[in-house]
Chains A and B, each alone.
Chain A
Amino acid sequence: MALTRKQKRLSIIAVLGVVLALATTLILTALRDEIVFFFSPTELLERSELAGQSVRVGGLVLEGSWTKEGENNSFDVSDGASEVTVTYVGILPDLFREGQGVIAEGQLIEDGTFDASTVLAKHDENYMPKEVEQALKEQGNWQGKYE
């Protein structure tokens, strides 16, 4: 069956679209390391080539790990599997909390700690009214997260 002109144009667009999408996928896959905004502690520790380089590490601040002396902060960032101790001199963002997401920019130094030059708080996709937080805490159902 011969294609009409419109069908022909539509198939050309479809074929070119698939080719372009494939090319883009390949490029994005190849550039994955450049596109990710941060590495997890596991990735950071596993990949020795990242040590000493300026990278970002992200995860949850471990409960009870945050110590603070003046502007000298130290806390552990965890992804559930492994953790890394982050040191940071400066003022932390308002939303910095234990049990919450955080992204530190800096480098892994010889003693295995992460020397951060910038710390950003990561907000997750959970939203909750203040009153609900209080109610949950009073009932003892608080898990630090809205479920």
Chain B
Amino acid sequence: MNKSNPMTDTSLPANWFSRLAHPGVFLSWSRNWIAPLAALTIILFTIGLWYSFFNSPPDYQMGETVRIMYIHVPSAWLSQMIYTLMAVSAIGTLVWRHPMADMSMKAAAPLGAAFTAVALFTGALWGRPTWGTFWEWDGRMTSTLVLFLMYLGLVALWRTFEGQARGTRIIAIFTLVGALNIPIIKFSVDWWNTLHQPSIIKADGLSMPASIYTPLLIMVVAFTALFFTLHLVGMRTEILRHRANSLERRHVSARNGTSSGTTS
């Protein structure tokens, strides 16, 4: 498949998803989505932050420290969701060789690293007053740190293999192998004794009242909207960078072609 010219590529199956995900088509429809998504993100954050700081009660044990959760839980949710998205994209790269899957993986990696860093940092800030420690090597914290390092490793790999189709496939394999860590993070608190508390989501509902889960749910949606806005912009940047690179290569080879022609 000739990636440098996806507009003329006809090897993809002709279904609605492939059409929408065609780089050229993607560029044109995604342009109209950025502003509404960004507006939605701002509105959700305004409501969510207002709830988090001014319209939710202090916890019976933690007091005001509970508010850290409204940043921590959404970041931690994104740290795992983004990796899952990257793993799905990696399958798209390896099986269908779809250029948008490559772009999706590449654009998601630094975002995942950032949200994981926020989750680790806010977790430490909450842990000190609550548990009495910034950091302990328990199952949840260690596996999340591993996730953070994997994100950093993938960002480094993308820089190393810049624009190489084979490199992209190698990164996709690494991404898929790393996906094994996601269920480990998720279930670490159930499989092993950990310092970190288990999930608030129980079979019979949430282990918190509406006054606490309302701001939490709004913030989770707000963070998710923020990620999708940034991811969309990131993928568009990748397509444009890809095009700029191939234009540059064509230009350089054309100029070299003429110059070598005149000097010989």
Q: A56 → chain B, closest Cβ, in Å?
A: 8
Contacts of A32 in B (CB 8 A): 192
Contacts of A119 in B (CB 8 A): 132
Q: Number of contacts between A and B (CB, 8 Å)?
A: 113
The size of the chain A interface, using a CB distance under 8 A, is 41
A132 vs B66: C-alpha distance in the bound complex, in angstroms?
15
Q: For the complex, is B209 an interface residue (Cβ under 8 Å from A)?
A: yes
Chain B: interface secondary structure? loop
Assuming the contacts A37-B195, A38-B193, A95-B62, asked whether A127 and B91 have C-beta atoms less than 8 A apart, the reply is: no
Q: A21 → chain B, closest Cβ, in Å?
A: 6
Q: Is the CB of B130 within 8 A of A123?
A: yes
Q: Is the CB of A124 within 8 A of B197?
A: yes
Selected from A20, A97, A131, the residue in CB contact (under 8 A) with B180 is A20
Q: B248 → chain A, closest Cβ, in Å?
A: 32
A127 vs B60: C-alpha distance in the bound complex, in angstroms?
7
The size of the chain B interface, using a CB distance under 8 A, is 40
Contacts of A38 in B (CB 8 A): 193, 195
Q: Is the CB of B192 within 8 A of A129?
A: no
Q: For the complex, is A47 an interface residue (Cβ under 8 Å from B)?
A: no
Q: Which of A21-37 contact B (CB under 8 A)?
A: 21, 24, 28, 32, 35-37
Contacts of A58 in B (CB 8 A): 193
